[in-house]
Amino acid sequence: MVRAALAIEDGTFVEGEGFGAEEYVEGELVFNTSMTGYVEALTDPSYAGQILMMTYPLIGNYGVCEEDFESDGIKVEGFVVRELCRDPSNWRYSKNLDDFLKGYNVPGIEGVDTRALTKKTRVYGAMKAVLAVGDYDREKMLKRAVEQPSITEIDLVDKVCVKEPKKIEGEGIGKGKYEVVLVDCGIKLSIVRQLIKRGLNVTLVPYNYPPEKIKELDPDGIFISNGPGDPARVKPTIETIKALAGEFPMAGICLGNQLVALALGGKTFKLKFGHRGANQPVKDFETGRVFISSQNHGFAVDEKSLGGTGLEVTQINLNDRTVEGMRHKDIPLITVQYHPEAGPGPHDTYFFFDRFYKMVREY
């Protein structure tokens, strides 16, 4: 057994058994309520800067399959579980979770009361934490848990986006007919898969790619991706949206939803403990239906700030009434806060990509 410990800024200190890499990491401790999908969560760039805790008690029982990756590797800072399965049973898997974390130098801890830690987070909000596997000093960990910068003070997008433009050809019927520029703030690969599945050619560009260079690519549509951290810190993308909204059909997912609101004059705020899981109910005003969605975000759009922006709310979260979707009254622009591409999660809201495709085709 390898010693491991987790220190939280409120003074909580728990010890357990370590797995993955023998490392020391810092980050915001957040919880995910999904029963499956730990590979997708671990590789989701939106978790950069965070220590991820799963509420489901047994994690790792179906191993790791590279086909489920949402990026080129693990993006979380650390991993917290109640019980780790070291002997998976699944014909698809290539390695177990312990080896997976070791391969990306990410530490994990098991044998802790994740239920108690989740209840604490729900009461007091997401808190800063330190995770150590191997040798550690309790007092130094607790001190650093308090003194480390908060997630609102860190620039994370630059660490998880592409550095140079990258083109991906569309597939299936009508492939290559339309060109889409996808502004990468920390894209999940499932989003790219949904776009190219509809025949769209996708060009990934960095979050700070100048709007004039995007115009030179002559796109038929622009897509703003998900990503980590505080949307107010992603100023280059906000300026791009300001410059190009209305000139091209535009859509945004998750962080992209928040960036659109900020670009057009709205505001965002930090949620107490965020929405992370595959069971969030969303009501769509256009159809009157309720969809179950996969979500991962710690910030939200302030609905009261949207007056004068031209944006109207199209969907809300039925748990806390926060904004889950918007559209512009006068220009071709739609957004959602959740992840319609799932990965993991229900497929209820794949239609969002059909709506974007229709906008591109009509344009």
Q: Of 275, 297, 328, 339, which residue is the catalytic one?
A: 339
Three-state DSSP at 224 gives strand
pLDDT of residue 241: 98
Parse the chain into domains and list their residue ranges: 2-153, 157-362
pLDDT tens digit sequence for 145-188: 999 999 999 999 999 999 999 999 999 878 989 999 999 999 99
Which among 9, 26, 70, 341 is annotated as catalytic?
341
Task: Give the Cα separation of 212 and 210 in Å (integer).
Answer: 5
Q: What is the pLDDT of residue 344?
A: 83
pLDDT (mean) for 226-253: 98
Phi and psi for 259 in degrees, rounded to 5?
Answer: -65, -40
pLDDT at residue number 151: 97
Active site residue 339: yes
CATH of 2-153, one of 3.40.50.300, 3.30.70.260, 3.50.30.20, 3.30.70.240: 3.50.30.20
CA R_g for the chain: 20
The dihedral sign for the CA sequence 133, 135, 138, 140: negative
For residues 117, 120, 125, 126, the Cα torsion angle rounded to the nearest 10 degrees is -10
pLDDT at position 353 is: 97
157-362 — its CATH code?
3.40.50.880
Burial of 231: CB neighbours in 10 Å, binned 0-12, 13-18, 19+? buried
> Hey, how many other C-beta atoms are within 10 angstroms of the C-beta on 5?
22
Tokens of 306: 């949207």
Residue 173 pLDDT: 79
The confidence score (pLDDT) of residue 322 equals 98
For CA atoms 75, 351, 215, 154, the dihedral sign is: negative
- Cα–Cα distance, 114 to 12 (Å, whole number): 13
Closest Cα to residue 177, out of 158, 153, 195?
195
Task: Give the pLDDT confidence of 4-27 residue by residue, as tens digits.
Answer: 999 999 999 999 999 999 999 999
Average per-residue pLDDT for the chain: 97
pLDDT at residue number 345:
84
Q: What is the pTM of this model?
A: 0.97
> For 87-124, what is each residue's pLDDT tens digit?
999 999 999 999 999 999 999 999 999 999 999 999 99
Q: Which of 51, 120, 72, 109 is nearest to 276 (CA)?
A: 51
Q: Is the pLDDT of residue 276 over 90?
A: yes
> What CA–CA distance (Å, rounded) separates 338 from 297?
8
DSSP annotation string for 255-301: HHHHHHHHHTT--EEEEEEEEEEEEEEEEETTT--EEEEEEEEEEEE
* Residue of 110, 254, 324, 328 marked catalytic: 254
